[in-house]
Structure 1
Amino acid sequence: MKISARNTLTGKIKSIDEGSVNNEVVIELAPGVEITSVVTKRSCEQLGLTVGGEAYAVIKASNVMVAVD
């Protein structure tokens, strides 16, 4: 796979919470380190996403907000 995004993180799919249109996919990058993405149900099906399977979290954004209390 070749991609221009600089932030590509590899992990295992921990859970897929299915909604009526979109699914929430949680990818465990390392023990206790997770990232969550919302993708369409169709994308989940086309990519063959399953719990326990390997996946990439690809982050492409022009900005990232950071906040603290």
Structure 2
Amino acid sequence: MSVQSINVRNQFRGQVREIIEGPVVSEIDVETPSGLVVTSVITTRSVKELGLAVGQEVIALVKSTEVAIAVP
């Protein structure tokens, strides 16, 4: 399956900047060329299966049914 065939319209290309690995889930920070940092929480098993590493080029796929905004 290619990225083009995935039904996710919000795609951000970037580099893995940090991986905070936990026993069950891990946080992955991806920095886009414009400097935007997208953080994903995925299973640690997926981190290993994907072979994710700092500096690796990836695509962050964002699909959400709700985005909340709060005013400070």
Task: Give the TM-score of the pair, scaled to structure 1.
Answer: 0.89
Which of 36, 41, 45 matches 1:38?
A: 41
Structure 1 unaligned residues grouped into runs of 5+? none
What's the C-alpha RMSD, in Å, of the aligned pairs? Answer: 1.2
Total equivalences in the alignment? 69
Question: Any runs of at least 4 consecutive aligned residues in structure 1 with deviations exceeding 3 A, and if so which?
Answer: none
Question: 1:58–1:43: structure 2 CA closer, same or farther, 3 Å change rule?
Answer: same
Structure 2 unaligned residues grouped into runs of 5+? none
Task: Give the TM-score of the pair, scaled to structure 2.
Answer: 0.86
Shift of 1:31: 4.8
In structure 2, distance between residues paired with 1:60 and 1:33: 17
Percent identity, please.
41
